[in-house]
């Protein structure tokens, strides 16, 4: 990397790939990864959730990538620099080729970024919302101009995979990653095979198995090698087997509640007015939650309680914010002041179909706690894709969502979850809109000095804490089931990368 004079110091500390290469496993093995869902599309920018990331992150590279600890590293771009405050120049890796063997040219990369920025189906528009123009330069360069100084662009670009449409004779979109797509069923199984000179890498078969118990049986009897995203109860069963083990890492995954903040009437609340428009109701809900009990009962204590939308390792975390404690007396008083002493009934949407059962237990515990202040919850489970579709179309009144801020930056998370929805921004915002919050998000994005930027993000956190459009709950520990003798790199962003899978012996 070649940092320019305007590159902020909090991005300039770039960790290059280790000179000690990860040992490559023997040829010929197919690693079977069983997960609850699979990508519905192979267009990488149409996907933005863990199960798809596991598959497509092996096939498509961004210009700049994040390593396992979220440090910036070269990817399709070998280097990048900033000649001025609003210009970012990415120089492509020499000899880069698409999976069909064609050389990568800057115009194709620029076209891919334009699709990600403008296509209504793209879920990567927020990362490119501050980009004004995308062009090509000399010596294999792609040049991005931002609307204003935007220090987080490199970490944002790291979330945008580069692809090309299939050429003659190709069935699938083309990438430049270490794997190419061998077979694909929308929402089902995907086979990845090593690309180019990666013949010594294992093949990867991502099997979609909705039933958690069947996934465990497959791991136990050798039909599967890896299960991502275990629930605590599933991990306990796997740890007791002589042929399997559990791998753990505290990562970026958080769970939070959000509600219909804006509409006077909300579709899934059983009353004429929308109670969530009253900040006293939102504060009452937060005060009714015993997060420590929730963590213990629903997640077996595997994780942490949260008062913010980011974890302590993320940029923008406010260390002085106290962890919330339950206060039923205050919660009941707030409900009474809002004219809702008897409470109300609402449907709670959550990820509970073909995903880890811990979310269902989280909802069960929350329903019991909310009942103490008269709020009667009707659980409505969905697949991850279904829930995201509901959130994006605002077809929900109250929902529980898991979120991974893969850039490790509160400002980026705010772009998705808190920015007023408009022109690709605020894509996962459940109707919250605050001119003050929007202004702080914009100010933070255009501030290069890390100290000043941190101060702005803390003001944003204070604004959000006062408005309570979301209720942070927990940071969940990432749990993976694996066959004994098999290891792979555990990443903060939770993605499984085939190049790190090592088989140390036969089972």
Higher pLDDT, 448 or 140: 140
Which has the minimum average pLDDT: 33-37, 106-110, 363-367, 406-410?
406-410
The percentage of the chain sitting over the pLDDT mark of 90, rounded to a whole number, equals: 62
Q: Which CATH number fits domain 251-477: 1.10.3210.50, 3.30.360.10, 3.20.20.70, 3.10.105.10?
A: 3.10.105.10
Which tokens sit at 224? 């599967």
For 118-139, give one letter per residue: b (16+ CB within 10 A) or e: eeeebbbbbbbbbbeebebeee
Between CA 40 and CA 188 the distance in angstroms is 8
DSSP 3-state assignment of 151? coil
CATH homologous superfamily of domain 22-208?
A: Periplasmic binding protein-like II (3.40.190.10)
pLDDT bracket for residue 4 (50, 70, 90): very low
Distances from the Cα of 2 to the Cα of 83, 136, 145, 240, angstroms: 10, 18, 18, 50
DSSP 265: S
DSSP 174: B
For 212-229, how does the pLDDT look when each residue is reduced to its tens digit (9 = 90+)?
A: 899 999 999 999 999 998
For 31-72, how does the pLDDT look when each residue is reduced to its tens digit (9 = 90+)?
A: 999 998 899 899 999 887 788 989 999 999 999 999 988 889
Single pTM value for the model: 0.76
Domain ranges for the chain: 22-208, 251-477
For 147-206, how does the pLDDT look when each residue is reduced to its tens digit (9 = 90+)?
A: 988 888 998 899 999 999 887 777 899 999 999 999 999 999 999 999 976 567 899 999
Mean pLDDT of the chain, nearest integer: 87
């Amino acid at each position: 990397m070649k940092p320019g004079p305007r590159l902020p110091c909090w991005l300039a500390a770039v960790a290059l790939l280790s000179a000690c290469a990860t040992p490559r496993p023997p040829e010929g093995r197919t690693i079977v990864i069983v997960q609850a869902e699979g990508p519905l599309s192979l267009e990488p920018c149409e996907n933005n959730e863990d199960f798809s990331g596991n598959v497509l992150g092996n096939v498509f590279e961004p210009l700049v990538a994040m390593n396992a600890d979220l440090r910036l590293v070269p990817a399709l771009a070998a280097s990048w620099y900033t000649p001025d405050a609003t210009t970012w120049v990415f120089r492509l890796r020499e000899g880069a080729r698409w999976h069909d063997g064609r050389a990568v040219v800057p115009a194709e990369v620029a076209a891919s970024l334009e699709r990600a920025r403008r296509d209504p189906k793209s879920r990567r528009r927020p990362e490119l919302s501050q980009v004004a123009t995308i062009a090509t330069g000399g010596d294999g360069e792609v040049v991005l101009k931002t609307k204003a100084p935007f220090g987080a662009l490199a970490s944002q670009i790291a979330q945008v995979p580069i692809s090309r449409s299939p050429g003659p004779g190709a069935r699938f979109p083309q990438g430049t990653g270490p794997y190419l797509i061998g077979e694909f069923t929308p929402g089902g199984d995907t086979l990845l095979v090593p690309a180019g000179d990666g013949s010594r890498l294992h093949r990867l078969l991502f099997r979609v198995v909705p039933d958690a118990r069947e996934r465990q049986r497959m791991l136990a009897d050798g039909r599967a090698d890896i299960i991502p995203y275990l629930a605590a109860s599933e991990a306990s069963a796997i740890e007791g087997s002589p042929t399997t083990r559990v791998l753990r890492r505290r990562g970026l995954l958080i769970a939070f509640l959000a509600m219909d903040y804006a509409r006077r009437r909300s579709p899934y609340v059983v009353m004429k007015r929308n109670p969530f428009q009253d900040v006293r109701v939102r504060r009452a809900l937060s005060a009714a939650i015993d997060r420590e009990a929730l963590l213990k009962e629903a997640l077996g204590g595997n994780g942490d309680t949260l008062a913010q939308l980011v974890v302590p390792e993320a940029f923008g975390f406010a260390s002085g914010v106290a962890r919330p404690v339950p206060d039923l007396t205050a919660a009941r008083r707030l409900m009474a002041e809002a004219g809702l002493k008897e409470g109300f009934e609402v449907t709670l949407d959550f990820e509970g179909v073909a995903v880890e059962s811990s979310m269902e237990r989280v909802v069960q515990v929350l329903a019991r706690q909310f009942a103490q202040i008269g709020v009667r919850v009707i659980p409505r489970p969905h697949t991850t894709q279904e829930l995201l579709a509901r959130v994006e179309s605002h077809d929900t009144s109250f929902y529980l969502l898991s979120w991974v801020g893969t850039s490790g930056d509160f400002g980026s998370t705010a772009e998705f979850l808190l920015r007023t929805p408009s022109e690709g921004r605020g894509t996962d915002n459940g109707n919250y809109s605050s001119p003050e919050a929007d202004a702080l998000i914009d100010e933070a994005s255009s501030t290069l000095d890390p100290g000043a930027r941190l101060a702005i993000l803390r003001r944003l956190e204070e604004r959000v804490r006062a408005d309570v459009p979301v209720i942070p709950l927990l940071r969940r520990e990432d749990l993976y089931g694996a066959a004994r003798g098999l290891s792979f790199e555990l990443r903060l962003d939770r993605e499984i990368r085939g190049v790190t899978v090592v088989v140390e012996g036969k089972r």
